[in-house]
């Protein structure tokens, strides 16, 4: 049986999940060992250029990510800071990478 996982993406304190969802090709979260920062990668289709135009995430911006598997416990991945944006293609795709930030950072 195919399992479906929902997610929430909060970008700069704005929930962009509904806007981003149609373009998500893949999303990953790596929970690294102690002493290493966790990281995320979000790959978006960019056929219309919105993710490489006005909607391009900026290095240093903040993302909060959580995964919500159907009928399972929500995985709150935490707060991440964008550290890379890569555009490639064809087909046109944008990869956003981010690393976890300290829980002591205040915004």
**Domain presence at residue 106:** no
Q: Could you give the number of structural domains in the chain? A: 1
Model pTM?
A: 0.86
What whole-number distance in Å separates Cα of residue 5 and Cα of residue 71? 10
Q: In which domain, by residue range, is 16 found?
A: 5-100
Q: How confident is the model at residue 106 (pLDDT cuts 50, 70, 90)?
A: very low
Residue range 68-80, pLDDT digits in tens: 877 788 889 999 9
Number of Cβ atoms within 10 Å of the Cβ of 14? 9
What whole-number distance in Å separates Cα of residue 31 and Cα of residue 55? 27
- Decide: helix, strand or coil at residue 52: helix
**Domain presence at residue 92:** yes
């Amino acid at each position: 049986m195919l399992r479906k996982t929902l997610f929430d993406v909060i970008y700069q304190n704005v929930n962009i999940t509904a806007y981003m969802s149609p373009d998500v090709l893949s999303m990953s979260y790596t929970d690294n060992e102690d002493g290493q920062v966790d990281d995320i990668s979000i790959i978006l289709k960019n056929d219309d250029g919105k993710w490489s135009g006005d909607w391009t995430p900026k290095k240093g911006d903040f993302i909060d990510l959580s995964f919500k598997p159907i009928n399972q416990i929500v995985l709150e991945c935490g707060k991440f800071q964008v550290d890379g944006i890569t555009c490639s293609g064809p087909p046109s795709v944008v990869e956003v990478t981010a690393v976890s930030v300290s829980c002591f950072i205040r915004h």
